[in-house]
Structure 1
Amino acid sequence: MNIKYIDLIDQTFNFPQQEFKVKNNKLQFHDIDLMQLVKMYGAPLKFTYLPKISENIINAKDWFNNAIKKVNYKGNYHYCYCTKSSHFKYILDEALKNNIHIETSSAFDIDIVKSLKKSGKLSDNAYVLCNGFKRDQYIANIVSLIDGGHKNCIPIIDNYEELDLILDETSSKFNIGIRIASEEEPKFEFYTSRLGIGYKNIVNFYKKEIAQNPQVDLKMLHFFINTGIKDTAYYWNELTKCLKVYIELKKICPTLNSLNIGGGFPIKNSLAFEYDYQYMIEEIISQIKIACDEAEVDTPDIFTEFGSYTVGEAGGAIYEVLYQKKQNDREKWNMINSSFITTLPDSWAINKRFIMLPVNRWNEEYERVLLGGLTCDSDDYYNSEQHINAIYLPKYDKKKTLYIGFFNTGAYQESIGGFGGLQHCLIPNPKHILISKNENGDLTTKLFKEQQKSEEFLSILGY
């Protein structure tokens, strides 16, 4: 009978996989020796493997361009990075190596855009798509870009007042987009997204507020599905409704030439993850082409704004199992030396799944466990509800330290967790490591941020 942890994985999944393999009883991630990383920097730690960002961007561009060529689509593809997924400079520096564009969500995003432009990282010709609900500071910052000559700054109108607010602040000619308020999935607590303007109202809004205004050109229709791009009847139905609006608008608005199919690609959340990116892209491109050809209107340029897909699979976290608590005959709690609430907030807030694997001791017997964090909060745990099935790990042995890794955690966790600020129960942020490759293709590591110290917490708290 096979009872080793590696046997369990071999029997359950196709393993090894592209990014995961086991060497000398230890897990490697993109050929990174994770135990060596622990020996160098200790645990807990977070890391970002920067080359994965460029890899995913290049893949998406190839898939779209292949689909465009295959169906003879008359339009170009533009990849935008959704900055709210991770605003860190090292993320933007890596992503912008790939000739991409930016999508913003709030006022301070524009300050990041200006910094990137000043440093030469972001081209003056790059598109800056300004999404989100906009008021004074965000409007002022957008206008400063427009008045500064950034012609491809496109505020995406979210509600009926925003256009007037921009017009009140500038006499420059500028381009805009309009966001469609898509209908949510039936299981949602509400019917229609709070963001954007309803399908039935967009054409009238254009006729009344834009068509006769020489200062404004409508360039883009923005279609966003909260659940992301998935092969479901719901997604295809919403896309069809979006295309009807695009076609109706295009017939009366010659400047309209772009369709933003916002709503991201899923990322790998288990070793059993399967998703045919090329198929989905070909279907989307084909449906847009068929609808436009039938209506005898020009096909639009395609924009996407991928956030999690860009950065999610670049991130990881490693924890040490400190102790095992047996609370009853069935439940064993492996206590980690950090907190899920503070370091992986999506795992408890929305039961988000991440890939979880032991870093060492793969050739030893396994057991079923629960994982608990250090805070005194009953919600600070990770169990089978977040995981794709029961959690199994090598058996706890106080003489053999066990390290566990969570992978594809690179999107949103630092921002939601309040990186560098107060943490629940004052559990510190782990140290953060950046991993890259040099000119010879060798892996290099760099300490980005030390683990938080008590002095930082006390300063914030006013002590």
Structure 2
Amino acid sequence: MKTKSSSWSVAQSDDLYGFKRWGNGHLSVDDDGFVAMQPLTDGRSVRIVDVVNEARSMGLKAPMVIRFQDLLRHRVIQLNELFNKAIKEEGYKGSYRGVFPIKVNQLREVVDEIVAAGKDYNYGLEAGSKPELMIALAMHEGSQRLIICNGYKDNDYIRLALLGRKLGKKIILVVEQLSELDEIIRLSAETGVKPLIGFRAKLQTRGEGKWALSSGENAKFGLNTAEILFAIEKLRAAKLTQSLRLVHFHIGSQVPNILTIKNAVVEASRVYCQLAKMGFPMGYLDVGGGLGIDYDGSRTNFESSMNYSMEEYARDVVFNIREICNSMDVEVPDIVSESGRAIVAPHSLLVVEVFERINKRESLGQQHQPEEKHKVVQDLETLLRNKTKLGRLERFHDALQKKDEAFSLFNLGYLDLENRAAAESLFWQICEQIAKEGRKAGYQPEELHELDTLLADQYVCNFSVFQSLLDHWALKQLFPIAPLHRLNEKPTVNAILVDITCDSDGKIASFIDLQDVKDYITLHPLNKQPYYLGIFLTGAYQDIMGDLHNLFGRVNEVHVFLEDDEPNGFYIEEALSGSRIADVIEGVQYQQEDLCRKMKAQIDAATKKDMVKPREGVRLLELYESQMLNKTYLNIEKKAAKAKRSH
């Protein structure tokens, strides 16, 4: 649909931001220019801005995490059904027994939903620490669901796992280091509980992408071939041969290339078959994590993408295990996978509000013309008019030279502040003029490719990269970002996003692109209405890994479900208020009451010295104490955007 005022269409917005490419059928743009979520891809959709406005009516503003719980359930069911389909089509004699790795998102509301959705599939949990194991023990239901215990283990960790075995739970302790096996054997004898044991194999096959170095010979976890043989001897000596049930491997998170997964599965299947032939009962092969998310929609082996689908992943895992087991005349195992990112990443997004635009061309010198223009300013004005019709590249070189000349003259004391400001402003105007000409011409010399990046505005957003998008800052992980409304209008502003922290690297300056990574995103000009951006596919790791940088704390959060009796209806089942100032300061060992008491003492002292009036002192203390109960993020007051409600 095209608007009356322009030739821009929602289809063009859909293509520009790539909803169809990376949205996996869950996201679309409606005729009025709003982004709509289809959690179950069954035709029912929810405008995301409607959810934001509903949350606002409940007192919750952006920044805000929105969880579409139906989508979370959908992903659990989808993974299990695709493995079951592959097992049936390949004539595989074993079963699929997936587990969700709690470390990917430990939040109760996420784990709750996954456990409920996985009930009919005996879908289990994976723990990598004592706190995670304690969650798994309490949340785990059913004797057929697995609990896989990874990570470094002390005696208490092992005792907890053995406690679960006493309760009839199918808990497998995965041996990551030889020393762990000694303690498992000792505590098993002490408690009289026969453990279920797995070996994590340190494969030669290495992963790809950002986490490639976490696998291979130098991996942090796992037993090499010689250590596996030592471990076998220890089990035999302890008369625990019947306890060895599983081989496990992990080749890193977000594996972009299906060939890497195939090679790792083949190698691990060989290890599994060798152990089975040596007389161990076995029964499970755990292919670990690595199932990716196509963050940019390019369907390539780029580190932020994946050149395979979830269906292809399941089929290749099943096929290769079957082929190796058949060739070695070994009964096929039940297949375990620890897919976390693929399950939880799509179900949530971060909504941020843009509240300010910083434009370097508008802010530098345009309103402050020098009374007496220096020659360097006059030369730049001549370049801007370009009456001699110099080429783009020549003008750019000349403008750079004059800008540097102005800087040198200023440092030497030959150029005043007004002339320096005028020179800078003229330089940016020339750059903008050259960039516009380049867009019309189509061809752009290589030296001018960076002009759009140099000219990009800064859109200031009310959030913290360090709290809500830690992987972007630390690992340069790309996340799809797009406006949630106004998509029937043509976006005209190239921008980078900056947060409200006091750090210069608190920004997003890398964005997905079909061909490459872009250094800016094209957005709409700001007006007096709220302007919301969605940062998508953030359900894995980002919810839990953020720190308390600048003491901003957790953002507001809402959990959305589809309504069964309305075509496009939804309801917010749960709304979680973000951190208050009192919450975060107490998290770093300050006490609210103590700080208020100290502040009162200072105000009382100032009142005695007549620095403030008594009534003014009371108001100051009330302000300080009331702020303790306020949210940590900025309180942006704008007129609420009008959006048609769909429920």
Q: What's the TM-score, normalizing by structure 1?
A: 0.90
1:178 to 182, 194, 199: 199
Judge conservation of contact 1:351–1:386 (CA < 8 Å) in 2.
Answer: no
Question: How big is the shift at 1:150?
Answer: 2.7
**Pair 1:331 & 2:339 matched:** no
Q: Could you tell me which residue of structure 2 aligns to residue 103 of structure 1?
A: 126
Contact 2:325/2:332 (8 A) holds in 1: yes
Distance across 1 between alignment mates of 2:227 and 2:194: 24
**1:300 aligned residue:** 333
Q: Could you tell me how far apart the structure 2 residues matched to 1:310 and 1:70 are?
A: 23
1:457 maps to which residue? Answer: 584
Q: 1:232, 1:22 → 2: CA distance?
A: 31
- Counterpart of 1:318 in 2: which secondary structure? strand
CA distance in 1, matches of 2:72, 2:49: 23
Given that 2:494 and 2:520 are in contact with CA atoms closer than 8 Å, whether structure 1 keeps it comes out as yes
1:321 aligns with 2:354: yes
User: How far apart are residue 232 of structure 1 and its match?
Assistant: 4.4
In 2, the alpha carbon distance for the partners of 1:20 and 1:125 equals 36
Q: Does 1:213 align with 2:238?
A: yes
Q: In the alignment, what sits opposite 1:80? A: 99
Cα shift readout 1:213-258 (whole Å, capped 9, x = no counterpart): 3345100000211144554443333322212211211101341111
| 1:235 aligned partner | 261
Partner of 1:396: 525
Of the structure 1 ranges 237-246 and 76-85, higher mean CA displacement relative to structure 2 is found in: 237-246
Equivalent positions of 1:336-355 (< 5 A) are 336-355=461-480
Q: Report whether the alignment pairs 1:155 with 2:173.
A: yes
2:49 to 32, 35, 38: 35
Higher relative contact order (CA 8 A, sep 6+): 1
1:312 and 2:334 correspond: no
Larger fraction in strand: 1
Asked whether the 8 Å contact 1:21–1:28 carries over to 2, the reply is: yes
Whether the 8 Å CA contact 2:13–2:488 is kept in 1: the answer is no
Matched to 2:554, the amino acid is N
Q: Please show how residues 18-167 of structure 1 align to structure 2 within 5 Å.
A: 18-23=25-30, 24-30=32-38, 31-41=45-55, 42-97=61-116, 98-99=118-119, 100-117=123-140, 122-146=141-165, 148-167=166-185
Q: Could you tell me how far 1:375 is from its partner in structure 2?
A: 0.5
AA at the equivalent of 1:360: H
SS at match of 2:201: strand
Does structure 2 retain, via aligned residues, the 8 Å contact 1:20–1:28? yes
Cα deviations by residue, 1:381-431 (Å, 9 ceiling, x for unpaired): 11226664354333222424311001111111121114xxxx211224210
Q: Is 2:554 aligned against 1:429?
A: yes
Output one character per residue of 1:54-109: Cα deviation in whole Å (capped at 9) or x when no partner.
21121111211111111211111112111111112221221112221111111012
Once the two structures are superposed, residues 118-160 of structure 1 have per-residue CA deviations (whole angstroms, 9 ceiling, x without a partner) of xxxx2244211111111133223222222x3334111111110
Match of 1:357 in 2: 482
3-state DSSP class of the match of 1:353? coil
Cα distance in 2 between the residues matched to 1:359 and 1:14: 11
2:169 and 2:67 map into 1 onto residues whose CA distance is 33
- Give the drift of 1:327: 3.5
Deviation at 1:8, TM superposition (A): 4.5
Report the 3-state secondary structure (helix = DSSP H, G, I; strand = E; otherwise coil) of the residue aligned with 1:369.
Answer: strand
Deviations 1:313-358 (A, max 9, x none): 1111101101011246413111101111111111111111212110
Give 1 or 2: higher helix fraction.
Answer: 2
Shift of 1:277: 2.2
For the Cα contact (< 8 Å) 2:97–2:145, is it kept in 1? no
TM-aligned CA distance change 1:14 to 1:395, over 3 Å: closer
Deviates more, 1:272-281 or 1:43-52: 272-281
Decide whether the 8 Å contact of 1:103 with 1:128 is kept in 2: yes
Q: 1:203 touches 1:248 (CA, 8 Å); kept in 2? A: no
AA aligned to 2:180 is: E
CA–CA separation in structure 2 for the residues paired with 1:239 and 1:15: 31
Q: Helix, strand or coil for the counterpart of 1:377?
A: coil
Question: Aligned equivalents of 2:551 and 2:255: distance in 1?
Answer: 38
User: Where does structure 2 lack aligned partners over 5 or more consecutive residues?
Assistant: 1-5, 39-44, 56-60, 300-306, 362-427, 429-454, 592-647
Matched with 1:266 is 292
Cα distance in 1 for partners of 2:469, 2:574 equals: 20
CA–CA distance in structure 1, aligned partners of residues 360 and 222 of structure 2 = 50
Tell me the alpha carbon deviations over residues 284-314 of structure 1, each in whole angstroms, 9 at most, x when there is no partner.
2111111111111111110111111121111
Q: Point out where structure 1 has 5 or more consecutive residues left out of the alignment.
A: none
CA distance in 1, matches of 2:553, 2:255: 36
Aligned counterpart, 2:542: 413
Change (3 A) 1:397 1:439: closer
Q: Secondary structure at the match of 1:203?
A: helix
Query: Match of 1:32, as an amino acid?
Result: V
**Range moving further from structure 2, 252-261 or 9-18:** 9-18
Letter in 2 for 1:319: V
- Residue 21 (structure 1) shift: 1.6
Matching of residue 278 in structure 1 with residue 278 in structure 2: no
Given candidates 506, 511, 514, the residue that maps to 1:380 is: 506
Give the distance between the partners of 1:5 and 1:428, measured in 2 at CA: 36
Shift of 1:3: 5.3
Q: 1:93 to 1:8 in 2, by over 3 A?
A: closer
Looking at structure 1, the residues matched to 9 and 502 of structure 2 have their Cα atoms a distance apart, in angstroms, of 33
Q: Which AA in structure 2 matches 1:19? A: H
Partner of 2:14: 9
* Contact 1:182-1:192 at 8 Å conserved across structures: no
* Secondary structure, aligned partner of 2:308: coil
**Structure 1 position 14, deviation (Å):** 7.2
Between the aligned residues of both structures, percent identity stands at: 21
Distance 1:3 1:200, change over 3 A: farther
Q: Distance in 2 between matches of 1:319 and 1:299?
A: 49
**Alpha-carbon distance in 2 for matches of 1:175, 1:154:** 5
Distance 1:340 1:386, change over 3 A: farther
Q: Do the aligned partners of 1:85 and 1:412 also contact (CA within 8 Å) in 2?
A: yes
For residues 259-303 of structure 1, give each alpha carbon's deviation from its aligned partner in whole angstroms, at most 9, with x where no partner exists: 001123112313445632222322221111111111111111101
1:168 equivalent to 2:211? Answer no
Aligned to 2:448: none
Q: In the TM superposition, what are the counterparts of 1:187-202 in structure 2 within 5 Å?
A: 188=213, 191-202=217-228
Assess, with a 3 A threshold, how the Cα gap between structure 1 residues 5 and 338 changes in structure 2: closer, same or farther: farther
Conserved in 1, the CA contact under 8 Å of 2:175 and 2:200?
yes
